[in-house]
Amino acid sequence: MNPAVTTGLAAATPVPAAADEARWQTLLEHRNEAPPSHAGCPLQALYQPLLTSRGPYAVGHLAQSLDGRIATTSGISRWLSGGEDLLHTHRMRAIADAVLVGANTVLHDDPQLTVRLCAGRNPVRVVIDPDGRLDGSQRVFTDGAAPTLLLIADDLARPGERRGQAEVIPIARGTHGLDPHQIRHALQQRGLAWLFIEGGGVTVSRFLAAGALDRLQITVAPVILGSGRPSIVLPEITDLCHSLRPRTRRFILGEDVMIECDFHG
């Protein structure tokens, strides 16, 4: 299966999957270096700008249906998008210093958030749970596969507190929950500058609303749910001139199409 790349309204580029593992490893090994010359390679087109992005960086990702849902109302999301998008999320984890998810995702999916489908080291796992709803029994708190940080509101977190194996990090409450910029700052102080925000919709939306995303990747799967948990939800606008119109690139991931928004492009 080939992934493809396109920008603007041009055609989308099919991006190769597992057969490109060797090329993926080369890209990963040479991150921060001048790109090896594989002009026209879709894998390189997709990942090179991400691998070479300097300084603090945050990329959000959601897989959604044609009608903008990321899960059923009861919270079932496996597997909305296909295997190539799943492989893509593992590659994004491998690029990132830390992978972030909201409390609902941990409750419903009990994800491992590790790199298992491609080469690369596991990122630090970060769970946003302002009121400490999670009891510490989920895999990110118990499996020891990678360090886990639990972000709790500072009025609830106790000094030195742990939840399972996770270190609890207090974050100040803002107007709309924990301020994504404060989250980025707190993680950056721990050397976690390159962040992959993997969901769900509430978490990614709050980062987007706060202007705390450098890129947003939305993979659209050819399925209609007709109900369910929403993808991006932002404060209401009254005119289309207030909508976000970032520069975009498009990639074919098997049956799915991923549109990547670049908010600094």
Where does this chain touch ligand NAP (CB under 6 A) — which range of 3-11, 20-28, 128-136, 242-250?
Answer: 128-136
Where does this chain touch ligand NAP (CB under 6 A) — which range of 25-33, 97-105, 155-163, 238-246?
Answer: 97-105
4, 17, 27, 80: which one contacts ligand NAP (CB under 6 A)?
A: 80
Verify binding: residue 152, ligand NAP, rule CB under 6 A: no
Site for ligand NAP in 23-62 (CB under 6 A): 62
Cβ atoms of 56 and 225 within 8 Å: the answer is no
For ligand NAP, which is the closer residue by CB, 33 or 78?
78
Contact string 199-218 vs ligand NAP (x = CB under 6 A):
xxxxx--x------------
Binding-site size, ligand NAP (CB under 6 A) = 29
Verify binding: residue 63, ligand NAP, rule CB under 6 A: yes
For ligand NAP, which is the closer residue by CB, 44 or 219?
219
128, 192, 220, 225: which one contacts ligand NAP (CB under 6 A)?
A: 128
Verify binding: residue 130, ligand NAP, rule CB under 6 A: yes
Find all residues with CB under 8 Å of 238, minimum gap 6, and list them. none
d(CA 72, CA 80): 10
Where does this chain touch ligand NAP (CB under 6 A) — which range of 17-25, 68-76, 241-249, 251-259?
Answer: 68-76
Kindly list the residues in this chain that would bind ligand NAP in the complex (CB under 6 A): 62-63, 70-71, 75, 77, 80, 101-105, 108-109, 128, 130-131, 133, 177-178, 180, 198-203, 206, 229
